[in-house]
Structure 1
């Protein structure tokens, strides 16, 4: 019992310096209700990692352990520049763990708390990288279900054109695992209230469009300084996600282009069928709105394609080569 209480009893220092599954724990860098994340040293490869230790009671649930093993393997197989790589996942001394790349920098939550609303160009750069990561996960059959600023890491970019490099994390433990194992009860869900999609609240099936909604809530906050819905208590907030129209972004930021409101309204639609089909499609709509243009439609694209059946004369510079015979 001493080992179990040391993980989640509020005394993280008890693990500092200890070795867990070949990793020497250096310091705590984050915690939630069911996990603690440490900076640790991989003693086999001599590298720094982020080591997530899950609450010991989770390891005792056979259904959870099986889903954890499967989803960790899927997450580790995703090779994407904006997804934190999973190095290893396993169990030691009755505790499940995940070792991931350690990302130096801050998360988006701390960035917003420190700086407040971001410039539109910065918000769009961050949104595009998160959207790309989410769509890649959806192609592998993973739905994140908990897109929030705390799960978005912002590191230093490569140059002035790419000042930030963004990583999406927390894929090694998708929230479906908890909901299928009795760790959530009827009327509850796993997710963060400010960013949760209506279908998650009502217990309906979810797909990638659930993450479109969550991403839209996050991007809205990066621009407005607050999520789209704010209420005095949790039940009122859940009701707002399910039934209230989101406020127009330009009410908080009248300096931003008005067409952005329509892009957010679509991404925050109550019914998944009314949202953008992908996260990158949502970002494309934001960019088009920011530039004052319109997204090209399939019909418009076909209209500008040349008629391949009609012979085309050679360009003038090619006339000496292509001669009629």
Structure 2
């Protein structure tokens, strides 16, 4: 009788066709230092999924297993169109796994490698979608800590106005989980060095502004074809993130307006307090700068453009519900209020 092997023994190709926790593995689609991702078939619901299998040593660490369970539930609770949904997370045969929606397409890493710098309009469209996903995660108390092109999936969009649909992934396994459990060796940094915030390097507490920095690094690469810092070795790169100022982006993209440089200087500020308070605030400032306008600064934050309010709608909201004032002030008529303009296709208009 052949000896039963673990899921991680032998070559990855040996898992093709095997069943793991109700999923039949079909093809390897991604690999990292601590996990392998497969396209698999959910045998219960007959649908494709992305099945991530984590390295066995992670399952043997009780602290990591508890954090894995907590963070997987938190990630699964986020219902957002630009975050890859988590269907299930658990353990089988001594291996932790996460089953997620399978996204047909590529990731931003392959897109940049194939196409190089993106047109500004394309870069901003993708950035806005990823920013909304990151801000939604932050509202749920999750900090990604590893925002990079490889964790951004790009699928076909719905129409010519939305040619791409971006998804942020890899929330079920945050880098803090690994670093807190001693899984990494002494001196080994957990994360991707091209996009890591200074406070991560120095071991200080991190919050959502850590993702703002990594996100700004990714958008910089979308526009220029390279991250903001390039050095010959890892130690020099870590030093640059902590102490060097990034060169103006327009030295690499002189076709872009000069105000873009100020936006990236703020997004890549060494101090979290000096950065944008959210990823969407960074994108809003970038949009303004790409139009050639100087962003309006109020204190440390870039002001949002004023909201345009239809005063007629405001006046309708001030009237007594269901009634319209007629004649002299103080007099009230019993004529029902006409439907709002957005409802006219359904109810018609009496005006």
TM-score by length of 1: 0.90
Partners of 1:195 and 1:12 in 2: CA distance: 29
Partners of 1:324 and 1:64 in 2: CA distance: 68
Partners of 2:5 and 2:201 in 1: CA distance: 35
C-alpha deviation, 1:183, in angstroms: 1.3
| Aligned position for 1:35 | 35
| Aligned position for 1:89 | 89
Partners of 2:151 and 2:274 in 1: CA distance: 26
**Counterpart check, 1:171 vs 2:154:** no
**Residues 84 and 168 in structure 2, CA contact (< 8 A), matched pair in contact too:** yes
Aligned residues, how many? 309
| Aligned position for 1:44 | 44
**Counterpart check, 1:196 vs 2:196:** yes
| Aligned position for 2:220 | 220
Cα deviations across residues 69-103 of structure 1 (Å, max 9, x unaligned)?
A: 00000000000000000000000110000000000
Partners of 2:42 and 2:14 in 1: CA distance: 19
Seen in structure 2, the aligned counterparts of structure 1 residues 185 and 116 have a Cα distance that, compared at 3 Å, is same
Partners of 1:18 and 1:152 in 2: CA distance: 28
Partners of 2:92 and 2:12 in 1: CA distance: 18
**Residues 188 and 201 in structure 1, CA contact (< 8 A), matched pair in contact too:** no
| Aligned position for 2:257 | 257
**Counterpart check, 1:113 vs 2:104:** no
**Residues 7 and 36 in structure 1, CA contact (< 8 A), matched pair in contact too:** no
Taking only aligned residues, the RMSD between alpha carbons, in angstroms, comes to: 2.3
**Residues 146 and 214 in structure 1, CA contact (< 8 A), matched pair in contact too:** yes
Seen in structure 2, the aligned counterparts of structure 1 residues 300 and 231 have a Cα distance that, compared at 3 Å, is closer
**Residues 284 and 304 in structure 2, CA contact (< 8 A), matched pair in contact too:** no
Structure 1: 4+ residue segments shifted above 4 A: 295-302, 320-325
C-alpha deviation, 1:7, in angstroms: 2.5
Partners of 2:17 and 2:80 in 1: CA distance: 32
Partners of 1:113 and 1:74 in 2: CA distance: 32
Partners of 1:283 and 1:137 in 2: CA distance: 17
| Aligned position for 2:156 | 156
C-alpha deviation, 1:12, in angstroms: 1.1
Alignment of 1:60-79 (within 5 A): 60-79=60-79
C-alpha deviation, 1:190, in angstroms: 1.4
| Aligned position for 2:8 | 7
TM-score by length of 2: 0.84
Higher radius of gyration, 1 or 2: 2
**Residues 221 and 227 in structure 1, CA contact (< 8 A), matched pair in contact too:** yes
| Aligned position for 1:288 | 288
Seen in structure 2, the aligned counterparts of structure 1 residues 324 and 50 have a Cα distance that, compared at 3 Å, is closer
| Aligned position for 1:140 | 140
Give the unaligned 5+ runs of structure 1: 307-319
Partners of 1:203 and 1:114 in 2: CA distance: 35
**SS of match in other structure, 2:231:** coil
Seen in structure 2, the aligned counterparts of structure 1 residues 79 and 244 have a Cα distance that, compared at 3 Å, is same
C-alpha deviation, 1:3, in angstroms: 3.6
C-alpha deviation, 1:323, in angstroms: 5.4
Partners of 2:67 and 2:266 in 1: CA distance: 33
Seen in structure 2, the aligned counterparts of structure 1 residues 16 and 262 have a Cα distance that, compared at 3 Å, is same
Partners of 2:200 and 2:68 in 1: CA distance: 20
Partners of 1:253 and 1:208 in 2: CA distance: 28
C-alpha deviation, 1:216, in angstroms: 0.3
